[in-house]
């Protein structure tokens, strides 16, 4: 009887310790989340303020929630480009169009290429597959420094420079973390799926497109969404490889470097930053379930 009481007391102590641990973890995670949300909320509120209101109190709630700063940022954001006929300006609508095309093309190639390569390496037993896997690991470990000049020369020689499709081809490689994500996803799928399809007479193409890819569609969606966010926010690559087609991310970078009267206002610059981030927020809200979905693949049923 005494031993039973000791076990009950010990169990209660463990439960109390578990509750304390979970409570502390919840508090820390909440504080961590707030540390990310507060700058975003502050920037959103600041984007509605007039400059004089911001100068007087940087942390107050704006007296009037109007879109004047957004309109000013949208109207004045522009990037000069040099053409044979002289200097012309690319405005916000054109930069948004360039961003959509650049982001969509690079997302497609940067998702499908490692996906198909990882499928071949994970599902087929051939010696060169180990070489491909080793190349991916080595390139992720070894830093590649000083290759920008040679990349530009090669891209110009191949006709890929200053071309949306050319840049998408350059981004369509299998190196990087995306390959490892797809490799792990395809490796976890039991071979029973493909073997059953082969018995039914399915070709390798049908097995890949109609069986394997639908199984890992959650992984594909998550990788594509992360790639979309990455390329939408990327301004250095278009700045270097697309000199005549600036994107909205590069436009925001250039806008923050200008010294015109309207661009000097902090509230206008913050409004421009919020304006550029709107598509990312919309895409995340629409596809957050895909991003946070379960990457694990279940077994065969029935």
- CATH at residue 209: 1.10.3720.10
Residue 136 lies in a domain: yes
Q: Tell me, yes or no, whether 143 and 9 share the same domain.
A: no
CA angle 273, 279, 285 (to 5 degrees): 120
Q: What is the pLDDT of residue 296?
A: 42
Q: Tell me, yes or no, whether 90 and 233 share the same domain.
A: yes
The number of beta carbons lying within 10 Å of the beta carbon of residue 206 is 14
120 CB-contact burial (10 Å; exposed 0-12 / middle 13-18 / buried 19+): middle
CB proximity list for 229: less than 8 A, separation 6 or greater? 280, 283, 284
User: Which range of residues forms the domain containing residue 26?
Assistant: 2-46
Residue 53 lies in a domain: no
CB proximity list for 250: less than 8 A, separation 6 or greater? 79, 95, 235, 238, 239
pLDDT in tens, 98-119: 999 999 999 999 999 999 998 8
Q: Tell me, yes or no, whether 125 and 90 share the same domain.
A: yes
Is residue 59 within 8 A of residue 41, CB to CB? The reply is no
* DSSP result, 228-257: HHHHHH--HHHHHH-TTS--HHHHHHHHHH
Q: Tell me, yes or no, whether 73 and 105 share the same domain.
A: yes
User: Quick one: pLDDT band at residue 298, thresholds 50, 70, 90?
Assistant: very low
How many helical (H) and strand (E) elements, i.e. helices and strands, does the chain have?
15, 2
Q: What is the pLDDT of residue 262?
A: 64
Give how many domains the chain has, as a whole number: 2
Q: Percentage of the chain with pLDDT > 70?
A: 88
CB proximity list for 47: less than 8 A, separation 6 or greater? 69, 70, 267, 270, 271, 273, 274
pLDDT in tens, 260-296: 666 678 888 888 888 888 888 888 777 766 666 544 4
Q: Tell me, yes or no, whether 83 and 34 share the same domain.
A: no
Structure tokens at 259: 């010294």
How large is the average pLDDT for residues 37-41? 86
Structure tokens at 286: 């629409």
The number of beta carbons lying within 10 Å of the beta carbon of residue 50 is 16
pLDDT in tens, 234-254: 888 888 888 888 889 888 888
pLDDT in tens, 115-162: 999 888 888 877 787 888 888 888 778 776 767 778 888 888 888 888
CB proximity list for 116: less than 8 A, separation 6 or greater? 208
Q: Tell me, yes or no, whether 31 and 85 share the same domain.
A: no
Residue 302 lies in a domain: no
How large is the average pLDDT for residues 51-66? 82
Residue 87 lies in a domain: yes
Q: pLDDT higher for 17 or 47?
A: 47
* DSSP result, 83-101: ETTEEEEEEHHHHHHHHHH
């Amino acid at each position: 009887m005494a031993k039973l009481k000791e076990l009950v007391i010990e169990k209660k102590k463990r439960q109390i310790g578990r509750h304390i641990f979970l409570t502390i973890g919840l508090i820390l995670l909440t504080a961590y989340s707030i540390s990310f949300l507060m700058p975003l909320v502050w920037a959103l509120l600041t984007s509605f303020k007039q400059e004089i209101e911001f100068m007087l109190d940087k942390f107050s709630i704006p007296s009037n929630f109007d879109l004047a700063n957004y309109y000013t940022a949208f109207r004045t954001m522009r990037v000069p480009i040099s053409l044979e006929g002289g200097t012309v300006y690319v405005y916000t609508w054109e930069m948004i169009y360039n961003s959509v095309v650049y982001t969509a093309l690079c997302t497609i190639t940067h998702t499908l290429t490692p996906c198909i390569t990882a499928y071949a390496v994970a599902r087929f037993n051939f010696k060169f597959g180990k070489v491909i896997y080793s190349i991916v690991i080595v390139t992720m470990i070894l830093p590649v420094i000083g290759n920008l000049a040679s990349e530009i020369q090669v891209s110009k020689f191949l006709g890929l420079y200053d071309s949306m499709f050319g840049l998408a081809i350059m981004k369509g490689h299998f190196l990087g973390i995306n390959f490892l994500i797809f490799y792990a996803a395809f490796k976890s799928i039991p071979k029973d799926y493909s073997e059953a399809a082969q018995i039914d007479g399915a070709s390798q193409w049908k097995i890949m497109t109609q069986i394997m890819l639908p199984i890992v569609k959650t992984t594909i969606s998550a990788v594509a969404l992360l790639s979309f966010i990455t390329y939408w926010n990327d301004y250095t690559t278009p700045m270097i490889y697309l000199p005549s087609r600036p994107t909205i991310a590069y436009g925001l970078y250039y806008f923050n470097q200008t010294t015109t009267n309207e661009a000097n206002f902090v509230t206008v610059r913050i409004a421009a930053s919020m304006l550029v981030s709107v598509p990312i927020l919309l895409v995340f809200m629409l596809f957050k379930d895909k991003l946070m979905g379960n990457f694990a693949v279940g077994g065969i049923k029935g």
